Amino acid sequence: MSIRIAPTKATRAINLLRAVQNHPPTCPCHSNPSHHHNHRPSLASANASLSPRQLTRRLATPMDHSQQKEYAFEMAASSIRFGPGCTKEVGMDVKNIGAKRVMVVTDGVVNKLTAMKQVREALDAEGVDFQVYTGCRVEPKDSSIKEAIAVAKPYQPDLFLAVGGGSVIDTAKLMNLYTCFPEADFLDFVNAPLGKGLPITKPLKPLIAIPTTAGTGSETTGTAIFDLVSKRAKTGVAHRVLKPTLGICDPLNTRTMPSAVAASSGLDVLCHSLESWTAIPFNERVPRPSNPILRPAYQGANPISDIFSLQALRSTVKYLPRAVHDPDDFEAQSEMLLAATLAGVGFGNAGVHLCHGMSYPISGQNPNYKHSGYEVDYPIIPHGVSVAVTAPAVFKFTAASNPERHLAAAECFGVDVSNVKKESAGEVLSEALAAFLEKLGDQPRGLKALGFGSEHIDDLVEGTMPQKRVLMLAPNLDETNEDVEREQLRGLFEEAMSY
């Protein structure tokens, strides 16, 4: 009683299918990487922004055609619950999952906020046994992560519950990972080349994340970032199994952000969306993984991440200035939390590139800058500030790879691009970004304002070079030739000195 296919059509389809499968390299539908991304540029236009010397080098260093390009993308995200007041439901969630010993992970500041009060009450109401770890460090180091793991291991929780910003959620992810792999060396799962980058071969304990900032998107992603102090580098672990089981996004929890934190968190969202939107497309990434478990979470722009990234960009442009300038604008704050989560789904499946790759040495090699509005007793370039400060330079550089996408991004800032030539896409987006940052207020107008000078550039370049995981997604960056790559990064840092 099932449907039979008309024989002629079936035969035709099957023959076609065979033809496609037997001759993948010649099928225009899936061997041509720009087929589904018809805004992708030709090699000629990708090379347009290179100097003659760079171009000579690029042409002298042909692509490695022995490696096959990627042909699929994967989209995975935490379940997300969004609504004012939904923090209170977490006790029932824990019970519904069947957990009995919960490791609550937070930091000293968040521990005193209403969010944590509600979490305690919710767990108590369900009679769940829990222990609170308040030792997370803002911008965690490997040492702070290891201390946290040492607390989790003997407690043997059957669920982790992170309440805080990205630093807290990332710490909780790593506590979960190394509690589930107690014998592993800390560097085993850390991204290569700084760590061993081993695949994670089994599921972890459930993790529920309750963000209290609107920026990181960590509640939806499988990424955890920290400072590897011995290498003076930011790195991390990135794998889908790290992603939380559930992200509870309660806009009441982000009301406690000071305006400076709202601004820098929001700039992180801005760059997540812009970088994932402009990352090289998934089907230009090489090599194609030999096993789907090896497909990276940061796989390049793809048709699903695109939807999230562009929507998050539009929302950020619309709501971030309102959220920063008016602490009573709950609608804008709420929309920024949603935008952060959407951008998280976007970059969590597509990746970020130059702003993030360059931000790690910028933060780590901070000359002595202390961002206004952050009441800390040490110099700090907040993560969002360090990613946004290079953005005007970065997107001027990447625009030639895909002018249409860069113009579409400029359009999100309200620029009328109808008469803009493709060659000007980078300039136009760069100006739109600079104007946005200036209007937002309290943002350094370039690396100089952070205290960097030309004497720092070598170190900044060397600090960026190991960020392979994100640099491989940077359009226009020549990763096949380290000399060219260094020169390109040097140019970017020079350009980013002031805008």
CB nearer a copy of itself, residue 54 or residue 144? 144
**Interface with a copy of itself (CB under 8 A), residue from 37, 54, 73, 105:** 73
Evaluate whether 276 touches 397 at the Cβ level (below 8 Å).
no
* Per-residue x/- track, 124-163, a copy of itself (CB under 8 A): ------------xxx-------------------------
In angstroms, give the least distance from the CB of 303 to a copy of itself.
Answer: 6
**Interface with a copy of itself (CB under 8 A), residue from 40, 50, 54, 77:** 77
Query: SS3 of 248, please?
Result: strand
- The residues near 209 (Cβ < 8 Å, ≥ 6 apart) are 78, 161, 162, 169, 172, 218, 219, 244, 246, 247, 248
In angstroms, give the least distance from the CB of 279 to a copy of itself.
Answer: 17
Evaluate whether 164 touches 248 at the Cβ level (below 8 Å).
no
Single-letter residue type at 303: P
With binding defined as CB under 8 A, does residue 181 bind a copy of itself? no
Distance of CA 134 to the CA centre of its chain: 25
> Which 354-393 residues touch a copy of itself, going by CB under 8 A?
373-378
Specify which residues 102 forms β-bridges with: 130, 159
In angstroms, give the least distance from the CB of 489 to a copy of itself.
Answer: 30
In angstroms, give the least distance from the CB of 31 to a copy of itself.
Answer: 9
DSSP per-residue codes, 143-212: HHHHHHHHHHHHH--SEEEEEESHHHHHHHHHHHHHHHSTTS-TTSSSPTTTS--PPP-S----EEEEES
Single-letter residue type at 24: P
With binding defined as CB under 8 A, does residue 20 bind a copy of itself? yes
Whole-number Å distance between alpha carbons of 238 and 351: 10
Angle at 85 between CA 80 and CA 91, to 5 degrees: 70
**Interface with a copy of itself (CB under 8 A), residue from 334, 386, 430, 488:** 334
Whole-number Å distance between alpha carbons of 193 and 482: 15
Query: Whose CA is closest to 272, among 209, 371, 339?
Result: 339
> Which 274-313 residues touch a copy of itself, going by CB under 8 A?
283, 291-293, 302-304, 307-308, 311
In angstroms, give the least distance from the CB of 45 to a copy of itself.
Answer: 22
In angstroms, give the least distance from the CB of 372 to a copy of itself.
Answer: 11
Query: Whose CA is closest to 162, among 132, 142, 186?
Result: 132
CB nearer a copy of itself, residue 47 or residue 256? 256
CB nearer a copy of itself, residue 188 or residue 459? 188
> Which 28-57 residues touch a copy of itself, going by CB under 8 A?
29-30, 35-36
In angstroms, give the least distance from the CB of 369 to a copy of itself.
Answer: 15
CB nearer a copy of itself, residue 10 or residue 43? 10
CB nearer a copy of itself, residue 72 or residue 229? 72
Is residue 104 within a helix (H) or strand (E), and if so which, with residue range? strand 101-105
In angstroms, give the least distance from the CB of 454 to a copy of itself.
Answer: 31
With binding defined as CB under 8 A, does residue 330 bind a copy of itself? yes
Whole-number Å distance between alpha carbons of 403 and 430: 12
Whole-number Å distance between alpha carbons of 109 and 134: 9
With binding defined as CB under 8 A, does residue 104 bind a copy of itself? no
> Which 215-274 residues touch a copy of itself, going by CB under 8 A?
240, 252, 255-259, 261
CB nearer a copy of itself, residue 61 or residue 79? 79
With binding defined as CB under 8 A, does residue 68 bind a copy of itself? no
Angle at 267 between CA 280 and CA 246, to 5 degrees: 80
**Interface with a copy of itself (CB under 8 A), residue from 93, 275, 411, 495:** 93
CB nearer a copy of itself, residue 373 or residue 451? 373
**Interface with a copy of itself (CB under 8 A), residue from 49, 50, 104, 107:** 107
| Cβ burial 332-360 (10 Å sphere, 16+ → b, else e) | bbbbbbbbbbbbbbbbbbbbbbbbbbbbb
Whole-number Å distance between alpha carbons of 204 and 162: 15
With binding defined as CB under 8 A, does residue 82 bind a copy of itself? yes
CB nearer a copy of itself, residue 89 or residue 158? 89
Q: Which stretch binds a copy of itself (CB under 8 A): 72-80, 352-360, 395-403, 420-428?
A: 72-80
In angstroms, give the least distance from the CB of 27 to a copy of itself.
Answer: 8
